[in-house]
């Protein structure tokens, strides 16, 4: 990459390069720019070597559980049937299935398989959801503990937890009932007679209900940490008492005002985005993860920043970016007009692109919580600019957020592991097995 990049890496892994090396590698102006950028952030390095033997042992231990074995079979069946259904809808199997009757048959078979698989999953989950609803109605001490372990972050008490848990449980019940209605439509009607609006409505509710439940669980008090907020309130109350005691001392008030202004100025200087938006290629591993594994990287980054559960973010991101395509294509299958079918397909693709606004929403929350500088490039609106960053270049925005999170988090909160060349790497929780040989 050049002398500048070599000195950059040397500064990251060692203490600092000598001044002579800096002047040899670049001009004074470029050196000052490079040093200013180095002070702002350090690259995020992910796992280079994974101990596949340990991962294999963990996989074997996981698969020994009968419930996990059944879940794996269910996932494989859904993946195979979904892939076949996708290829039939997009015309990828037109050479193998040349006639429309053959394609309709394969579509209906895989549609019924998926319908049965998701109905079985709802039948498995629904009794537990009824049990949780009964616990909410009874609401005793033991019932509270059980529900907190399932729905509350860290299993701790949250303000207004009963009504918030009730909303989540009712949305999950709505998911089951919508799936049952969809199953009735698929089994009770032949495909030409099946009501298109009913199918589209039930599929939409069955998909959106758990997604909204996950979002509500993250955004409501159930997904927030209130212990730290209580400590902050105590500190604020104590500071208010100190202010009342010092009202009669102008010198102390002036000294405290200067100190608060210095702290605010220092926080503004320290809280900044790590690099520019297009600096995605500064770390190649992070760049590839941002492009090819966006949902997983996004969920992990939001989780370590304290914005909710990683898996809920991953599932919600995938649903918002993929579900509209399948819903609109399923509706278009039963329409004979080619123009209308094409319009529905384009509408599904357009809504899938708009699913990237989910990342823009959480970029706004990240900027506000950590007081990061706002960009007014789009109509002078910072929120609109954040959403536009995700719509136009989501890998760049995601990589910048990961780099910034690495600088904002304290060293003790970053999962680290040492590898054989004495470097320290930041390790996602799912990739924490490092080979030291």
Q: What is the pLDDT of residues 7-50, one digit of tens each?
A: 444 444 454 444 444 444 444 444 445 444 444 444 444 445 56
How far apart, in whole angstroms, are the C-alpha atoms of residue 148 and residue 165?
9
pLDDT computed for residue 178 by the predictor: 93
Which residue, 170, 132, 130, 166, is CA-closest to 149? 132
Q: What is the pLDDT of residues 208-235, one digit of tens each?
A: 899 889 888 888 888 887 654 444 444 4
How far apart, in whole angstroms, are the C-alpha atoms of residue 391 and residue 389?
6
Task: Show Cβ contacts of residue 63 under 8 Å, excluding neighbours closer than 6 positions.
Answer: 69, 72
How far apart, in whole angstroms, are the C-alpha atoms of residue 125 and residue 268?
48
Q: What is the pLDDT of residues 159-180, one digit of tens each?
A: 889 999 999 999 999 999 999 9
Q: In 3-state terms, what secondary structure has residue 276?
A: coil
Q: What is the pLDDT of residues 80-132, one digit of tens each?
A: 888 888 888 888 888 888 888 888 888 888 888 888 888 888 888 888 899 89
Taking the CA atoms of residue 104, residue 109, residue 112 and residue 117 in that order, the dihedral angle to the nearest 10 degrees is -140
User: How many CB atoms lie under 10 A from the CB of residue 144?
Assistant: 17
How far apart, in whole angstroms, are the C-alpha atoms of residue 285 and residue 428?
13
Q: What's the chain's average pLDDT?
A: 74
Judged on CB neighbours under 10 Å (0-12, 13-18, 19+), 206 is buried
pLDDT exceeds 50 at position 66: yes
The pTM of this model reads 0.54
Average pLDDT over residues 392-402: 89
Any idea where the domains of the chain sit in the sequence? 3-38, 65-226, 277-437
Q: In 3-state terms, what secondary structure has residue 411?
A: helix
Task: Show Cβ contacts of residue 11 under 8 Å, excluding neighbours closer than 6 positions.
Answer: 17, 38
Q: In 3-state terms, what secondary structure has residue 132?
A: helix
pLDDT exceeds 80 at position 394: yes
């Amino acid at each position: 990459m050049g002398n500048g990049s070599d000195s950059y890496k040397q500064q990251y892994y060692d203490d600092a390069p000598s001044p002579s090396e800096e002047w040899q590698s670049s001009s004074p102006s470029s050196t000052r720019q490079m040093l200013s950028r180095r002070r702002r952030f350090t690259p995020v390095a992910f796992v280079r070597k994974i101990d596949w033997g340990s991962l294999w042992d963990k996989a074997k231990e996981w698969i020994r559980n009968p419930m996990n074995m059944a879940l794996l079979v269910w996932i494989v069946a859904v993946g195979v049937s979904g892939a076949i259904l996708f290829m039939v809808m997009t015309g990828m199997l037109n050479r193998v299935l040349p006639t429309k009757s053959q394609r309709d048959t394969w579509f209906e078979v895989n549609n019924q398989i998926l319908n049965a698989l998701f109905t079985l999953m709802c039948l498995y989950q629904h009794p537990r959801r009824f049990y949780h609803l009964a616990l909410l109605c009874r609401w005793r001490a033991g019932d509270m503990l059980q529900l907190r372990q399932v729905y509350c972050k860290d299993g701790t008490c949250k303000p207004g937890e009963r009504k918030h848990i009730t909303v989540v449980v009712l949305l999950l019940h709505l998911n089951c009932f919508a799936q049952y209605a969809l199953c009735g439509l698929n089994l009770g009607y032949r495909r030409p007679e099946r009501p298109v609006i009913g199918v589209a409505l039930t599929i939409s509710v069955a998909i959106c209900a758990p997604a909204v439940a996950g979002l509500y669980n993250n955004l409501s008090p159930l997904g927030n940490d209130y212990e730290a907020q209580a400590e902050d309130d105590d500190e604020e109350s104590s500071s208010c008492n100190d202010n009342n005691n010092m009202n009669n001392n102008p010198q102390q008030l002036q000294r405290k005002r200067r100190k608060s202004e210095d702290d605010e100025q220092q926080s503004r200087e320290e809280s900044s985005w790590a690099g520019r938006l297009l600096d995605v290629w500064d770390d190649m591993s992070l760049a590839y993860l941002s492009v090819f594994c966006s949902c997983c990287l996004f969920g992990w980054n939001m989780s370590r920043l304290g914005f909710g559960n990683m898996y809920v973010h991953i599932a919600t991101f995938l649903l918002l970016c993929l579900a509209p395509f399948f819903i609109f294509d399923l509706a278009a299958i039963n329409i004979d007009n080619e123009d209308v079918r094409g319009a529905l397909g384009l509408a599904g693709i357009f809504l899938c692109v708009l699913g990237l606004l989910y990342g823009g929403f959480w970029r706004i929350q990240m900027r506000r919580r950590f007081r990061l500088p706002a960009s007014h490039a789009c109509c002078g609106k910072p929120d609109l600019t954040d959403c536009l960053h995700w719509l136009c270049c989501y890998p760049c925005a995601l990589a910048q957020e990961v780099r910034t999170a690495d600088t904002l988090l304290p060293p003790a909160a970053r999962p680290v592991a040492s590898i054989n060349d004495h470097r320290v790497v930041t390790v996602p929780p799912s990739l924490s097995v490092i080979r030291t040989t």
